[in-house]
Chains A and B, each alone.
Chain A
Amino acid sequence: MFRRTYVWILRLHPRNFQRSFAYEMLLIFDQVSKDQGTREVPGNRAKARLTEAKLVGDGIVSLIRQWAFRPGFQQKPAVAGPTTPALDGVPGFYMIGSFKPRPTAVIHGLILSIGVLSAALLAMKFSWNHTGHLPFPTLDREENASTVEQQRAILPTEIAPVSHAAQSSRGNPGEVEGGERPQSAAAFEKSQRLQSGVAWKQAKNVADEGARISGKPAIAGTRLRAANERRDDHRSTAFPTIRSGSPEPQAGQPEPQGAAGATNPPGADGVKLNAAERRRVIERTIATLKRYYFDREVAEKTAQALLTHESNGHDDAATDGGAFADVLTKQITDASHDMRLTLEYSRERLPEHPPEQTAEDLARYRKAMEQENCMFRKVEILPNNIGYLKLDFFPDTSVCQKTATAAMASLNHADAVIFDLRDNSGGMENMVGLIASYLFDHPEYMYSPRESPTEHSWTRSPVEGNRLADKPVYVLTSASTWSGAEQFSYDLKMLRRATLVGERTRGGAHASVFHRIDDHFGMGIPELKPINPFGKTDWEGTGVEPDVKVKAAAALETAEKLAKNHLSKK
């Protein structure tokens, strides 16, 4: 920055002076900066900066001196000859003519400059506090008729498990125990789980669209734990595979038929997928992939790979629906190198249209959240005035904002804050953003691979009366920390706002959207190309690496020690 300033100062010198000496002065600037030590050495950095600042000051004095006191030298260059080359590719030092402005003009210019600068600074200050309200361009989304349909499919499932949650033995609104449910409900709920895992996303556009369609606010999330428990750990899917949680076929119970097509309802046991049926699934998979995947080129390449595998007979051994889905998933991820693309199989028929979200659903969700204190399990002040918040889920702010605000307010006078997310299974981005808002004194971008950036991607910082923006923050993680909780951990880590203590997280970014292919097959497809400001990869499949690696059980103790040490150094 100093160099650029210096260049501009040199450019403002009288023309003849520029021609004679500007290049050499810049050479000296570079040489002095270099001699002061490289920037990489931390100790020398400040010194080099100071020297550069002094040189800029010297340049300003020189500028005034040349214009004010050296009128005679403005007539001809002191050194003849074309000696001044262009700097940085810019035809440098002959832009200002060799005129001398009148003193009154200089004074007027000075006053005007100060006025403009003040206005610009005021505008910057204003915008700094109001960036959250500015519209932000969203990424291109595939526009088609089915998008709305897709979103409809998302929303109702998000709320459905609450009813079970309220009745579950542990009373946890997120937890669903499949075995406790009547068999008649199993098939439908299974399909819901399949969809809800990917449909967890609650982009504003999705939510708004859902609200528009159903006439109700979009609520999402409580079935996450249910989804967790059904998830195949060995796979990096963006949503739980239902096979792992599906009961094995029992005698007399409907068993899916191999064909898995809309025309082929589940029937008796023993029917396997034949070549024609596999072919149909492949064709539909390809069509869905091409239609929704954000990278058409990769979709095309993947489609070709699937067809090649099929013609080479690589799919022939997979006569069972689940195995066939696994085979195709592997082929798809091998070709696309995108682990978020998955093909899923359901033994039970997937409903074409999930049930509509009702006011009762919403009321149930609200009640369940209230009963669970919105999953804010513990809010307390530990010894050494360290605030501790155990949060097991990031619930929707439309229901739980008050609880969250109260929890953060009770920590407001803490000297450090520990967020315990070891049992946190994710949740809503709006709650992630709300809590993060307390940790910054300016709006900060909270990256999510699930969404295009919107105005809601920024924290609502600063929060009035908040005192936590500059306090040390520790986030406790475990191998169970998942999804939205990983987003919270990942973003705070990448923003260097928190120290993560514990275990590597579970690794679910949930960037995919579920697309029903037919009665028994569905695909998880990321529709948006994620733009990660911190690098190319997020935590999908890999988890978030903690800063301090300890067993989850020892994480709190470790974080307390770290916080105590940090505070004692102050």
Chain B
Amino acid sequence: MKEDVSEFVPLSTATLHILLSLAGEDRHGYGIMQEVACQSEGQYKLGPGTLYDNLQKLIERRLVQPVGERAGDEDPRRRYYRISPLGKAVLSAEVERLEAVVHEAKMRLQPARPRRA
């Protein structure tokens, strides 16, 4: 049964960035922090406290799942996280929502074009 993703959106900035960072590949906590900083070109930085608070919530809501440790990692005890199918669906929904927001914003911010009544 496909879950209703609408209850998850809109996402907070931190949640959005975390899900986005996990969209491409599984990452550990520090990897997520680095990816988030990279995505936002350094404008948005997550502290570990915020990161794990959000991860805690995401895991609780089953948007993210821990996938355990990796043998080849620098620290073999470091846990990796993976976005779940539900998480991907939520991310997609959030992106769609944002697209609509952006579209709407662009529409409204164009001064030459008269607004609809």
Q: Is the CB of B75 within 8 A of A27?
A: yes
Q: Is B17 an interface residue (CB 8 A)?
A: no
| B10 / chain A contacts, CB cutoff of 8 Å | none
Q: Is A28 an interface residue (CB 8 A)?
A: yes
Q: Is the CB of B75 within 8 A of A21?
A: no
Instruction: State how many angstroms separate the Cβ of A61 from the closest Cβ of chain B.
Output: 6
Instruction: State how many angstroms separate the Cβ of B82 from the closest Cβ of chain A.
Output: 13
B contact set with A: CB distance below 8 Å:
28-30, 33, 47-50, 52-53, 55-56, 59-60, 66, 68, 75, 77-79
**A23 closest partner in B (C-beta):** B77
CA distance A28 to B77 in the complex (A): 13
Q: Is the CB of A66 within 8 A of B75?
A: no
Instruction: State how many angstroms separate the Cβ of B67 from the closest Cβ of chain A.
Output: 11
Q: Is A539 an interface residue (CB 8 A)?
A: no
Q: Is A17 an interface residue (CB 8 A)?
A: yes
CA distance A32 to B30 in the complex (A): 9
Q: Is the CB of B49 within 8 A of A79?
A: no
A contact set with B: CB distance below 8 Å:
17, 20-21, 23-25, 27-29, 31-32, 54-55, 58-59, 61-63, 65-66, 70, 73, 78-79, 81, 83, 85
The 9 lowest CB-CB distance pairs between A and B, nearest first, are A62-B49, A58-B47, A21-B52, A78-B56, A58-B49, A25-B48, A28-B48, A78-B59, A28-B30
CA distance A393 to B14 in the complex (A): 71
Q: Is the CB of B55 within 8 A of A55?
A: no
A27-B75, A63-B49 known; 13 new pairs, CB 8 Å cut-off, are A17-B52, A17-B56, A20-B52, A21-B29, A21-B56, A28-B30, A28-B33, A29-B48, A59-B49, A61-B49, A62-B48, A62-B52, A78-B60
Interface SS of chain B: helix
CA distance A70 to B52 in the complex (A): 12
CA distance A70 to B50 in the complex (A): 13
Q: Is the CB of A62 within 8 A of B78?
A: no
Q: Is the CB of B47 within 8 A of A24?
A: no
| A63 / chain B contacts, CB cutoff of 8 Å | 49
Q: Given A24-B79, A78-B59, A79-B79, A55 and B47 touching (CB < 8 A)?
A: yes
Q: Is the CB of A25 within 8 A of B49?
A: yes
| A79 / chain B contacts, CB cutoff of 8 Å | 59, 66, 79
B30's partner among A31, A62, A70 (CB-CB below 8 A) is A31
CA distance A27 to B29 in the complex (A): 9
Q: Is the CB of B53 within 8 A of A25?
A: no
28 contacts between A and B (CB under 8 A): A24-B28, A24-B48, A24-B78, A24-B79, A25-B52, A27-B75, A27-B78, A28-B29, A28-B30, A28-B33, A54-B47, A55-B47, A55-B48, A58-B49, A58-B50, A59-B48, A59-B49, A62-B50, A62-B52, A62-B53, A63-B49, A66-B53, A70-B53, A73-B56, A78-B59, A79-B66, A83-B79, A85-B77
Instruction: State how many angstroms separate the Cβ of B45 from the closest Cβ of chain A.
Output: 9
**A85 closest partner in B (C-beta):** B77
CA distance A414 to B48 in the complex (A): 52
Instruction: State how many angstroms separate the Cβ of A408 from the closest Cβ of chain B.
Output: 52
CA distance A65 to B50 in the complex (A): 9
**B33 closest partner in A (C-beta):** A28
